[in-house]
Amino acid sequence: MLYLIGAEYVVKASNVDSRHHEALSNLHTEEIFQDSVATATPKYITIDSETEKLPYQKFEMGRARSAMFFPLYIDNIYIGYWIMESGQMHAFDKTDTTIIEVVKDNIISVLQTTSYQETIENIDRIDKFTGLHSAEYLYGNAKRIFSKYPTSAVCMFRITNIEEINKNINREMGNDIITEISNVIKTKMAAQYVFVRYMGPKFIIVFSGVEEGSVEEFLNGLKEEIENLELVQDEEEIQKIRIVKGKKVRVRELKPKQVASPKLNFVVSTYYKGTGLEQLNKKLEEYIDNCPKEESQINYI
């Protein structure tokens, strides 16, 4: 099976010896298959005697004596082709094309899923403040970690007072809070756990292979430790414009020392291997976004 990526064809799956892959990846240039690609119709070719060879064969003429070529399309966009070969003449004369079409549709479905997965993995990024992976990591490489287990506890938490800190102190302090929380939690993560910055002040921890009820003690300790953090911004000299006797005058003032402590709200649920992680995370996010702003506890849904 050949799959088109950009302007190049890549062999995605094949049981043909690798030394033939280059030839197979150029079949779209063969005149005999060009009409098939253009019209999105299969092409069946075979030989009638041992002295013949298939039109696309340049070497080892006896390797295949019959072939079925299937162009692959997704939403009317050509993405590559699938070719079946046989060492027998007229091998596919009586092949049920209905079954072949089902197989072809399944191949396209797999390619779509693979393409989606590759896209997700490619857009994963590292957050500059925390050094954590973004949410996309959960649906790519991280999923291979916790999918080794039948169930895992998934926890989303939100820094509930981050907007207040940004407004009353400044955004720099808010960023420092986010960084410090991330650093504390990273030191407590087991190798099989996954910790990501989900979005803004929201984070996710996946406790791979751990039951939902078994994380409460850990989360209570984590919550207590983080909420006891105090980040201090030293006194700062600032300049302001004042009106003195009708004129604008630039004056210097001393901004007092300010202290910030984060407040967290947690929500926990269970992920079952093979189910939709995206839907679960959406459910957690909806809860944590719609609960009262003053809520600061550990919830199970």
The per-residue pLDDT for 275 is 87
Pick from 139, 68, 79: which is nearest to 107 by CA?
79
CB 175 within 8 A of CB 129: yes
Q: How confident is the model at residue 265 (pLDDT cuts 50, 70, 90)?
A: very high
Q: How confident is the model at residue 119 (pLDDT cuts 50, 70, 90)?
A: low
The per-residue pLDDT for 6 is 42
CB 231 within 8 A of CB 220: no
Top-confidence residue, 51 or 284:
284
CB proximity list for 210: less than 8 A, separation 6 or greater: 152, 153
CB 142 within 8 A of CB 194: yes
Q: How far apart are the first and last CA of the chain?
A: 44
The per-residue pLDDT for 161 is 94
Tell the residue number behind the tokens 């999918």, with chain if given.
147
Task: Flag whether pLDDT at 44 surpasses 80.
Answer: yes
Task: Flag whether pLDDT at 9 surpasses 80.
Answer: no
Q: How far is CA 40 from each of CA 31, 50, 91, 100, 109, rounded to the nearest angstrom?
A: 15, 30, 22, 15, 17
Mean per-residue pLDDT over the chain, rounded: 84
Top-confidence residue, 217 or 119:
217
**What sections of the chain are H helices per DSSP?**
21-24, 31-39, 97-123, 141-146, 162-168, 171-186, 216-227, 277-290
Average pLDDT on 149-167 reads 95
Top-confidence residue, 181 or 52:
181
**Which tokens go with 101?**
């079409």
The per-residue pLDDT for 270 is 95
Average pLDDT on 275-282 reads 91
Task: Flag whether pLDDT at 254 surpasses 90.
Answer: no
Pairing status of strand 298-300 against strand 264-272: parallel
Task: Flag whether pLDDT at 5 surpasses 80.
Answer: no
Pick from 203, 211, 161, 171: which is nearest to 184 by CA?
203
Tell the residue number behind the tokens 């075979």, with chain if given.
46
